Amino acid sequence: MVHQSIIASVGRHLSQEEIYDGLGAVLENNNDIRKVLLIPPDNTRSQSGADLITAWYYKTLSKKGINVKVLPSLGTHMAMTEQELHDFFGKEIPLDAYIVHDYINDVVKIGTIPVEFVKEVSEGLVDEKIDVQINKVLLDKSFDLILSIGQVVPHEVVGMANYSKNIFVGCGGEHMINSTHLLGAVYGMEKVMGQDHSPVRKVFDYAEEHFIQDMPIVYVLTVCTAKMDDVYIHGLFVGRDRKLFEDAVQLSQQLNMTYVEKAPKKMVVYLDEHEFKTTWVGNKAIYRTRMAIADGGELIIITPGIRKCGESDEPDRLIRKYGYKGRMHILDELKKSRELQDNQSIAAHLIHGSSDGRFKITYAPKQMSKEEILEIGFDYIDYEDALEKYPIHQLEDGWNNVDGEEIFYISNPAIGLWVEKKRLTN
DSSP-assigned states of every residue in 49-82: SHHHHHHHHHHHHHHTT-EEEE----TTSPPPPH
Determine how many CB atoms are found less than 10 A away from the CB of residue 95.
Answer: 9
CA distance 300 to 270: 9
Are residues 151 and 226 both part of a single domain?
yes
Residues 62 and 45 in one domain: yes
283: three-class secondary structure by DSSP: coil
Residues 288, 257: contact at Cβ < 8 Å? no
Q: Indicate whether 73 pLDDT > 70.
A: yes
Neighbours of 323 (CB within 10 A): 20
Domains: count for the chain: 2
Q: How far is 173 from 142, CA to CA, in rounded Å?
A: 22
pLDDT tens, residue by residue, 132-179: 999 999 999 999 999 999 999 999 899 999 999 999 999 999 999 999
234 and 313 in a single domain? The answer is no
Helix (H, G, I), strand (E, B) or coil at 379: strand
Of 183, 160, 176, the C-alpha closest to 351 is 183
pLDDT band at 49 (very low <50, low <70, confident <90, very high): confident
Claim to verify: residue 159 and residue 43 sit in the same structural domain: yes
**Looking at the predicted structure, is the pLDDT value of residue 255 above 50?**
yes
Residue 295 identity (one-letter amino acid): D
Instruction: Determine phi and psi for 255, rounding to 5 degrees.
Output: -100, -30
69 shares a domain with 165: yes
On whether both 171 and 317 belong to a single domain, the answer is: no
Over the range 284-302, which residues count as b (16 or more CB within 10 Å of their CB) and which as e?
Answer: bbbbbbbbbbbeebbbbbb
| Domain harbouring 78, CATH code | 3.40.50.11440
- Backbone angles phi and psi of 149, in degrees to 5: -110, 135
- Kindly give, in sequence order, each residue whose CB lies less than 8 Å from that of residue 100, ignoring residues fewer than 6 positions away: 72, 74, 79
What is the average pLDDT across 278-287? 94
Q: What is the pLDDT of residue 12?
A: 86
Given a contact cutoff of 8 angstroms between Cβ atoms, the answer to whether 73 and 105 are in contact is: no
Residue 189 — very low, low, confident or very high, per pLDDT cuts 50/70/90?
confident
185 and 240 share one domain: yes
Return the higher-pLDDT residue of 25 and 53.
Answer: 53
Boundaries of domain holding 223: 5-255
Domain boundary (227, 255, 283) is at 255
As a dihedral over the C-alpha atoms of residue 145, residue 149, residue 154, residue 155, rounded to 10 degrees, the angle is -80
Query: Domain ends where: 203, 236, 255?
Result: 255
Average pLDDT over every residue of 187-200: 92
Same structural domain, 164 and 274: no
The secondary structure of residue 25, as a DSSP letter, is G
360 strand-pairing partners = 298
> 391: domain CATH number?
3.90.226.30
> Average pLDDT in the 31-57 region?
90
User: Same structural domain for residues 242 and 282?
Assistant: no
Of 255, 289, 319, the position where a domain reaches its end is: 255
Is residue 418 within 8 A of residue 289, CB to CB? The reply is: yes
Instruction: For residue 3, name the pLDDT band (cuts at 50, 70, 90).
Output: low
Same domain, 148 and 228: yes
Query: Is a pLDDT exceeding 60 seen at residue 425?
Result: no
The amino acid at residue 286 is: I
Do 242 and 391 fall within a single domain?
Answer: no
pLDDT of residue 1: 46
CA atoms within 13 A on the CB side of 331: 14
**Do 201 and 59 belong to one domain?**
yes
Q: Are 166 and 248 in contact (CB under 8 A)?
A: no
Of residues 11 and 421, more confidently modeled: 421
* Residues 371-402: tens digit of each pLDDT: 999 999 999 999 999 999 999 999 999 999 99
